[in-house]
Amino acid sequence: MLNYFSQSSPVSPVNLEALADRLKVLAEPKRLLIFNLLIEGVQCNCELGDFLQMPPNLISHHLGKLRVAGLVDVERDAVDSRWVYYSVNRAALDELNAAFGAFFDPDRIKPRRSTCGPKDLVPICEIAETEKPV
């Protein structure tokens, strides 16, 4: 479990640990680029290599991280197993979209709770308006 998420953390509509794990994988620019290419359609390892201009072992490393995170599916050609095809795991993409939608829902924003400090705070925008020169 991540150290950042304690038992006393505010309730979240999504599993923050799972979301953080997937975001960490996608935060690497080359992996995000690979994921973007796969969203555009199934790619074989040679197509990815041609586009990315990266060594095959580095592409395999990044694809491995994406597979472990459950974001990418892999399939070998039935006739010639040297050909490997990669695609986006649609269920994982749907989960990620749902998690983002729920986590970043503007309806979750709540007004300030006065649990500490002065109880009669005035929003800064109201102060700025009263101090405008006439």
Q: Which of 71, 89, 87, 64 has its CA nearest to residue 22?
A: 71
Write out pLDDT tens, residues 17-55.
989 999 999 999 999 999 999 999 999 888 898 899 899
* pLDDT (0 to 100) of residue 27: 96
Structure tokens at 25: 């994988």
- What is the Cα–Cα distance from 104 to 13, expressed in whole angstroms? 10
Strand runs labelled E in the chain? 43-44, 72-76, 84-88
Q: Which of 60, 73, 72, 66 has its CA nearest to residue 23?
A: 66
* pLDDT (0 to 100) of residue 132: 65
Write out pLDDT tens, residues 3-27.
555 555 567 788 889 899 999 999 9
- What is the Cα–Cα distance from 101 to 22, expressed in whole angstroms? 15
